[in-house]
Amino acid sequence: MQLQDYRREYIQGGLRRKGLNTNPIAQFETWLQQAIASGLSDPTAMTLATVDENGWPNQRIVLLKQVDEQGFVFFTNKQSIKGRAIANNPNVSLHFPWYPLERQVRVQGKATLLDEQEVARYFASRPKESQLAAWASEQSQVIPSRDHLLEKFTALQEQYVESDAPLPIFWGGYRVKPSCIEFWQGGEHRLHDRFQYTQSEVEHDWKIDRLAP
Ligand SMILES: Cc1cc2nc3c(=O)[nH]c(=O)nc-3n(C[C@H](O)[C@H](O)[C@H](O)COP(=O)(O)O)c2cc1C
């Protein structure tokens, strides 16, 4: 089959301005709950796009761990490729692809580091193996082999057999404070619905525009 023959209609229903919440975070929470309830896989997975010091964009998936008026939270290694990019340029973009619901959400905002207490709280809630894996992985560095990783992991398991793993200094979290959020709902004949919320000067006041599909 030719790639150009893959096509389908988007039929799940439209998005109308009168049905939108005036607050994009509340709107996002409604869509996230619907994505979870629909049973689609990895509803909290989001693509995180960053730009490095040479202006190159890069992207990868991370998991959303919290969302509220302050922004979208994820956890990672601060010395990874993404961590280094954000240290140089905090402007990032997030993308949620909820294909079975024929929806996507796109966010632009600034990422800031979470404070250590918040990170420590989340780190302590993770399974011990995940904590040790965070210690074992110099994320985004070149390593000689999988065995190298497993040896480090096994040594850590022995080291922390009777005690909790402490929070690594290189491990952390970011909160993306949104300045622009777009909700996309697929429509019949490619006449999709798009609504963009843009933060105005007054905090918590959002301008809503319909965009052409
Ligand atoms: C479903 C899924 C969830 C992921 N969640 C995370 C996450 O929450 N944090 C993280 O650091 N990496 C996560 N990863 C791995 C990242 O996509 C990426 O490989 C890693 O963070 C290194 O990225 P970087 O080299 O651009 O910094 C996830 C990958 C997938 C496919």
| Cα torsion angle, 204, 200, 43, 169, sign | negative
What pairs with residue 92 in β-bridges?
109
Q: What is the predicted pLDDT for the residue at 201?
A: 76
Residue 98: what pLDDT?
Answer: 98
Give 13's contacts (C-beta < 8 A, 6+ positions apart). 185
pLDDT of residue 204: 72
Which pLDDT does position 149 carry in this prediction? Answer: 97
Question: Among 22, 48, 51, which Cα is nearest to 173's?
Answer: 48
- The closest-lying atom of ligand 1 relative to the alpha carbon of residue 63 is 8
Name the one residue in this structure whose structure tokens are 């040790």.
Answer: 132
Phi, psi for residue 40 in degrees, rounded to 5: -65, 155
Ramachandran angles phi, psi of 104, nearest 5°: -145, 155
pTM of the model: 0.96
CATH architecture for residues 11-211: Roll (2.30)
The reply to whether ligand 1 has any atom less than 6 angstroms from the CB of 81 is yes
Active site residue 190: yes
Judge contact between 174 and 112, C-beta under 8 A: yes
* For ligand 1, mutation pick of 50, 63, 92, 131 (most atoms within 8 Å of CB): 63
Structural domain boundaries in the chain: 11-211
The verdict on the CB of residue 42 being under 6 Å from ligand 1 is yes
Distance of CA 82 from the midpoint of ligand 1 (Å): 9
Neighbours of 198 (CB within 10 A): 15
pLDDT in tens, 55-89: 999 999 999 999 999 999 999 999 999 999 999 99
Note the pLDDT of residue 30. 98
Which residue's C-alpha comes closest to atom 10 of ligand 1? Answer: 76
Please state, as a whole number, how many other Cβ atoms lie within 10 Å of the Cβ of residue 11. 9
Residues with pLDDT less than 70, the chain: 203
Q: Which of 17, 190, 194, 210 is catalytic?
A: 190
The atom number, within ligand 1, closest to the CA of 77 reads: 11
Q: 88 — phi, psi (to 5°)?
A: -85, -35
The reported pLDDT for the residue numbered 1 is 83
205-210-213 Cα angle (round to 5): 145
